[in-house]
A = this chain, B = another copy of it.
Amino acid sequence: MRARDLAAPFPTVTLDTTALEAARLLAGNDLPGLIVLDSRGAPSTILPGTQVLRLAVPRYCQDDPALARVIDEAHADLFMRELADRTVAACLPREPRELPVVDPDATVLEIAALMARTRSPVVAVVERGRMLGAITLDALLDRMLAE
């Protein structure tokens, strides 16, 4: 069992994808994040799901959660609309997270070691700059426990 056998389709975005579309891709898919492709289509970083929320929450509420309490539901829903006008580029953490990458021949143990070290629950499988798919922690554990 090698990375090529475990690689599965995984949603990708570009820096120009709207934050709303990113939020929709995340919702309902139980994903830890989205893979961000560079202009050549190669995986460059990961957009952690929690960082999409940053755009949906006004700055002053992030710094002081107590302020978030006094804003009523109707207002809170309005903030989501902001996501439609912003892009993935604005969601990325200032220090972008490393997206671990393996080649198609990587072993299960190699992938597990990489996930443990980088603390990333997703690893991209890349062959000559092209992404074949990704392996999630969940898929890897399923495989390891299937013995």
Interface residue ranges, A against B (CB under 8 Å): 1, 23-24, 26-32, 48-54, 56-57, 61-63, 65, 68-69, 71-73, 76-77, 79-80, 105-110, 112-121, 136-138, 140-142, 144-145, 147
Q: Which residue of chain B is the closest to A139 with respect to CB atoms?
A: B27
| Dominant secondary structure of chain A at its interface with chain B | helix
- The listed residue (B53, B108, B118, B145) touching A115 by CB distance below 8 A is B53
B73-A107 in contact (CB<8A):
yes
B contact residues around A28 at 8 Å (CB)? 138, 141-142
B32-A80 in contact (CB<8A):
no
Supply 29 A–B pairs (Cβ within 8 Å), ascending by A.
A1-B73, A23-B141, A23-B145, A26-B137, A26-B138, A27-B138, A27-B142, A31-B138, A32-B32, A32-B121, A48-B119, A48-B121, A50-B116, A53-B113, A53-B140, A56-B112, A57-B112, A61-B109, A65-B110, A65-B113, A65-B117, A68-B113, A69-B106, A71-B107, A72-B107, A73-B108, A76-B109, A80-B145, A80-B147
